[in-house]
Structure 1
Amino acid sequence: MTNTENYFKVGTIVNTHGIRGEVKIMAITDFAADRFKKGAELQIDTKQGFVPVKVQASRMHKNMWLVLFEGVTNINEIEKYKTHDIYVIGGAREALGDDEYYYNEIIGCRVIDLEDNDIGVISEIMETGANDVWVVSRDGQSDALIPMIDDVVKNVDVAGKLVTIDALEGLLD
């Protein structure tokens, strides 16, 4: 693993697919369609450093991205990268609008309510289609599911890693 300070993980090559050199990637990015589109530039993390690759083609298949990189013509050229992580360089990230955040900005944030009571730490983000749901790990309790909607999420301080919510009745039960 190399220094990933200015790199952001977008997925992991979990296997190869077929004999033409396609790989199955489990995406962990909020912009998978953009990350794996034709022409996208990615980095494969290896023990020797990052290996730059460019997407030649991609498609969704059984909740995984099947990706073919430019210059790869068969399974033997890509098999050595199974289980390796895929990154994008920090400058390649798109600017977000108000109330939009990258996963890595939200995961790890402490959550408090309007009275400054500690709720827990955001450990995961689930996409539901309607809105994201933030999974909050709580000490000695089951996880809380916080919908990313204006009625609940009142303030997000990315720099301070702090999220303030209005704990509506029944939300934390």
Structure 2
Amino acid sequence: MTDSGRPSEELVTVGRVTTVYGVRGWVKVHSYTEPMDNILQFPKWWLQGPKGWEALEIDAGKRHGKGLIVHVKGIDDRDLAAQFCQRDIAITRDFMPDLERGEYYWHQLQGLQVISHFDGEEHDFGTVARMMETGANDVLVVRGGADGRERLIPYLPGQFIANIDLEAGIITVDWDPAF
């Protein structure tokens, strides 16, 4: 089940197995995809384990209440299903659907350098440490830079996000360095 040859750079985290459900090998899944049940369309899942990434096959999955439940292939016991809980689910990047021009996956933005040209001066804010969903809009969590601060910058292209250049690895923002 372990595939130590799978480079983690090829994988994108798309959810997490949270807890067992019932007594017949089902588990609850928290999906990071939108809509949440898109995670069920990916043909091969990888689970992060103590020895690296392990292949995981599911043979059934469905919405249940406000979340999802899936059945792990070959597992029909609650105690055996528990071994998959509290582990991240990833897929290979080549299974990610293509996006429209100007759209980005969160994993593409993480690690990019963030620069502001506020008041005609260039300010290095550091890099995108992670993305955060707030309900109203997504937020860039930016750390490092010249002053070492953490900044929360609303991900609002055309308003605060001036330009994203994946090739150069730079996001240009319109953001006051005092904030």
1:43 to 39, 43, 46: 46
1:147 to 134, 140, 155: 155
TM-score normalized with structure 1 length: 0.77
Q: Is the 8 A contact 1:134 1:148 kept in 2?
A: no
Number of positions where the alignment pairs a residue of Structure 1 with one of Structure 2 = 169
**1:4-47 deviation line (CA, Å, top 9, x unaligned):** 2322222232321221322233444566431135x743223443
Aligned-residue offset at 1:101: 1.1
Find out whether 1:164 has 2:168 as its counterpart: no
Aligned-residue offset at 1:130: 4.5
TM-score normalized with structure 2 length: 0.74
Q: Distance in 1 between matches of 2:165 and 2:35?
A: 22
**Where does the alignment leave 5 or more consecutive residues of structure 2 unmatched?**
none
Q: Distance in 1 between matches of 2:162 and 2:168?
A: 15
The alignment partner of 2:94 has SS state of helix
The list of structure 1 runs, each at least 4 consecutive aligned residues, that deviate by more than 6 angstroms after superposition, is none
Identity of aligned residues (%): 25
Aligned-residue offset at 1:105: 1.0
The alignment partner of 2:167 has SS state of coil
**Where does the alignment leave 5 or more consecutive residues of structure 1 unmatched?**
none
Find out whether 1:122 has 2:128 as its counterpart: yes
Change (3 A) 1:23 1:149: same
Q: Distance in 1 between matches of 2:142 and 2:111?
A: 9
2:110 is matched with 107
